[in-house]
Amino acid sequence: MIVDQLLIKLTEVFAQDIYTAGAENANELYLEVNPEKILEISSYIHLELGYPLILMFANDEQSLKTGYAIYYVFADRTEGLLLIIKTLVDSGKMEILSLSKNIPSASLYEREINDLFGIVPVGHPEAKRLVFHGNWPDGEYPLRKEFDVRHKPVFAKKETDFTKVGGEGVFEVPVGPVHAGIIEPGHFRFSVAGEPIINLEAQLYYVHKGIEKLCEGQSIERCLYVSERISGDETFANSLAYCQAIEKIARVRIPDRAQHTRVVFAELERLTSHLGDLAGICLDAAYGFATFQFRMMRGWAYGAADELCGMRFLRSVNKLGGVRKDFAAGKEAKLREQLQKIRSELEDTVNIIKANSLFIDRVENTGILETKIASDLNAVGPGGRASGLRFDVRKSFPYEVYNQLEFNIPEHHNGDINCRMNTKIEECFESISLMLQALETMPDGNVLEAINSVEPYRFAFGLTEAPRGENIHWVMTGENNTIYRYKIRTPSFCNWPALCHAVKGNIVPDFPLINKSFNLSYAGNDL
């Protein structure tokens, strides 16, 4: 078993510093280690073993007599293994050693923990606020258990400080939070010299709603509905990740028919979302014909969703332990027909746009995200795959019945808009094929293995491939079937810094286009 081998290897190197070790849910290895040695241990895992840091979060475990704990989550994406390093925080000091200098992707997580828990990352190169804007008062940490979820602290009169770029002819262009289009709010600060962008700083968290705090102490059932509302067009991917975690905690294997049904919905969501992104790219390149072609296909995909469940956003489909009802029954033929229609129209449209050299000229070599930067920042999903990081949760951590179905991960390397667009186009075709396969092989049977109660203080990860990429949820249950801690990390969280890098050196008018090629979620990032 690979978990055991990994443990042996780590014990050989860090025998004295590993306090406890335990495997959970088949592929999660939890190690509690000496907090003084976290730099050495994490660097070893990251550099020697080559596991990326995919998540880092804190948990207020004072009522469990352990105080505050930090979890560092590393992933072995070839073996499908999660290595979780846990350290305890000295409650007198409330400090941790910052990993950011060795592992760049730790930077945002450490700032997040600092804002929400008041645990200071010592040695962080840029320890400013992330979640809260300048006006949030000092000393208020919402994710500490003693903070009341309804408490609204009085805002201080302070502004956010932005990075200043100096030099002759450099000026700043502030944009947002309310934008010209029908999109979510966020503030962008461009530092430009003439046309090219030298630096972009994104001030997000305008739509921060306190979702993680909101879920604490709530019933596992209610949190399912909250998880559906984390990010509008990733409803299914998020609720699926949440269900997965609870199903692991309850040790329930959901019926085969439900697994197939979930694949159909998950892929339908991806198809809808990608078609929307493609329409967006064409719109921002002023290519009206293609925009409306993609919007038409997207409308058809929504039609298929309406047909299946009466809800365009696939809400109220997932249930803990399966799906709400047998959505596919009797609708297979109609769905198949609809999918084939989308596929043939998509083929035609793609041929037309690829032959349009004016359009291709605009997207090629624009907004390049280099492979090195992408991997340092742990860029995920189509954004990462376009830069050569060929990882997909459906392959690395197969869930539902993905390991029985055939599909390819697109391969691209250039990391420009064109590659991201092509990745999405190819994934649309794969999604359609996956849906057809899942319908084909769907066995009879029931679709729900109801979960009514869960043991307290158990925890598990749920991992899904959302349309935007790797999506991780970590759930710890509390007493009476409630949630003790719910950590959500959507793909957008990883990809926002990647976007800020990809725009550097490009001209300001190309920003909307580059932005659309990533199409990140603000709500999913801000929570």
Partner 1 sequence: MFNTIKKIIKYPRLTQDYPYKSIDSSLFLGRTEINPAECNMCGECVSRCPSQAIVMDKTSNNIGINYDECVFCTLCEEICPTGAAKTTNRFELAEKGKSMLRSNTLIIDENNMTDASHEIICSQLEVNIKKIFGRSLYIREVDSGSCNGCDYEINGLNNPFNDIERLGISFVASPRHADMLLVTGTATRNMQLALAKTYNATPDPKLVVAVGACACSGGIFRDTYATSNGIDSIVPVDVYIPGCPPRPQAIIYGILKALDRTK
Site for ligand SF4, rule CB under 6 A: 229, 232
Q: Is 390 exposed, middle or buried (0-12, 13-18, 19+ CB in 10 A)?
A: middle
Smallest gap from residue 306 Cβ to partner 1 (A): 5
Smallest gap from residue 378 Cβ to ligand SF4 (A): 27
According to the binding rule CB under 8 A, does residue 37 interact with partner 1? no
Query: In whole angstroms, how far apart are CA 440 and each of 239, 269, 306, 332?
Result: 24, 19, 21, 9
Sheet containing 81-89: give its strands across. 18-24, 28-33, 81-89, 67-76, 53-61
The smaller minimum CB distance to partner 1, of residues 10 and 143, is found at 143
According to the binding rule CB under 8 A, does residue 295 interact with partner 1? yes
C-alpha–C-alpha distance, residues 357 and 289, integer Å:
15
Element (H, E) at 334: helix 332-354
C-alpha–C-alpha distance, residues 25 and 460, integer Å:
7
Q: How many other C-beta atoms can be found within 10 angstroms of the C-beta atom of residue 296? A: 14
Smallest gap from residue 391 Cβ to partner 1 (A): 25
Element (H, E) at 33: strand 28-33
Angle in degrees, CA 374, 228, 500, rounded to 5: 25
Write b or e for each residue in 171-193: b if 16 or more Cβ atoms lie within 10 A of its Cβ, otherwise e.
eeeebbeeeeeeebebbbbbbbe
The smaller minimum CB distance to ligand SF4, of residues 229 and 295, is found at 229
Element (H, E) at 225: helix 220-227
According to the binding rule CB under 8 A, does residue 307 interact with partner 1? yes
The smaller minimum CB distance to ligand SF4, of residues 229 and 324, is found at 229
Contact present, 476 and 457 (Cβ < 8 Å): yes
According to the binding rule CB under 8 A, does residue 347 interact with partner 1? no
Residue type, 320: L
Residue from 233, 284, 392, 427 in contact with partner 1 (CB under 8 A): 233
End-to-end, the C-alpha distance of the chain in Å comes to 37
According to the binding rule CB under 8 A, does residue 65 interact with partner 1? no
How does DSSP classify residue 113? H
Residue from 127, 165, 175, 214 in contact with partner 1 (CB under 8 A): 214
According to the binding rule CB under 8 A, does residue 276 interact with partner 1? yes
The tokens for 327 are 């959505």
Question: Which of the choices partner 1, ligand SF4, none does residue 8 contact, using the CB cut-off of 5 to 8 A by kind?
Answer: none
What's the longest Cα–Cα distance across the chain? 70
Q: From 344, 341, 343, 361, select the one nearest 353 (Cα to Cα).
A: 361
Contact present, 470 and 248 (Cβ < 8 Å): no
Residue from 14, 30, 147, 457 in contact with partner 1 (CB under 8 A): 147
The smaller minimum CB distance to ligand SF4, of residues 232 and 456, is found at 232
Smallest gap from residue 31 Cβ to partner 1 (A): 33
According to the binding rule CB under 8 A, does residue 311 interact with partner 1? yes
Q: Collect all residues with Cβ–Cβ distance below 8 Å to 370 and sequence separation of at least 6.
A: 387, 415, 501
The smaller minimum CB distance to partner 1, of residues 86 and 213, is found at 213
Residue with tokens 């949630």: 483
According to the binding rule CB under 8 A, does residue 519 interact with partner 1? no
Smallest gap from residue 207 Cβ to ligand SF4 (A): 9
Residue from 8, 15, 180, 333 in contact with partner 1 (CB under 8 A): 180
3-state secondary structure of 440: helix
Question: Which of the choices partner 1, ligand SF4, none does residue 149 contact, using the CB cut-off of 5 to 8 A by kind?
Answer: partner 1
Question: Which of the choices ligand SF4, partner 1, none does residue 21 contact, using the CB cut-off of 5 to 8 A by kind?
Answer: none
On the CB side of 114, CA atoms within 13 Å amount to 22
According to the binding rule CB under 8 A, does residue 221 interact with partner 1? yes
How does DSSP classify residue 427? H
According to the binding rule CB under 8 A, does residue 222 interact with partner 1? yes
Smallest gap from residue 315 Cβ to ligand SF4 (A): 8
Q: Collect all residues with Cβ–Cβ distance below 8 Å to 443 and sequence separation of at least 6.
A: 256, 257, 260
The smaller minimum CB distance to ligand SF4, of residues 132 and 313, is found at 313
Smallest gap from residue 390 Cβ to partner 1 (A): 28
According to the binding rule CB under 8 A, does residue 231 interact with partner 1? yes
Question: Which of the choices ligand SF4, partner 1, none does residue 80 contact, using the CB cut-off of 5 to 8 A by kind?
Answer: none
Contact present, 234 and 521 (Cβ < 8 Å): yes
Query: In whole angstroms, how far apart are CA 413 and each of 139, 371, 466, 469?
Result: 45, 8, 21, 17
According to the binding rule CB under 8 A, does residue 448 interact with partner 1? no
Smallest gap from residue 524 Cβ to ligand SF4 (A): 12
**Phi, psi torsion values for 248, nearest 5 degrees:** -65, -45
Q: Restricting to residues 99-138, name those near partner 1 by CB under 8 A.
A: 133
Is the bond leading into 104 cis (omega within 30 degrees of zero)?
Answer: no
The smaller minimum CB distance to ligand SF4, of residues 52 and 524, is found at 524
Q: Which part of the chain contacts partner 1 (CB under 8 A), choosing from 18-26, 179-187, 245-253, 472-480?
A: 179-187
The smaller minimum CB distance to ligand SF4, of residues 217 and 232, is found at 232
Question: Which of the choices ligand SF4, partner 1, none does residue 183 contact, using the CB cut-off of 5 to 8 A by kind?
Answer: partner 1
Smallest gap from residue 514 Cβ to ligand SF4 (A): 26
The tokens for 481 are 């079937």
Question: Which of the choices ligand SF4, partner 1, none does residue 349 contact, using the CB cut-off of 5 to 8 A by kind?
Answer: partner 1
The smaller minimum CB distance to ligand SF4, of residues 305 and 346, is found at 305
- Give residues in contact with partner 1 (CB under 8 A): 133, 142, 147-153, 155, 177-178, 180-185, 205-211, 213-214, 219, 221-222, 224-226, 229-233, 235, 276, 289, 292-293, 295-296, 298-299, 302, 306-307, 309-313, 315-316, 324, 348-349, 351-352, 521-523
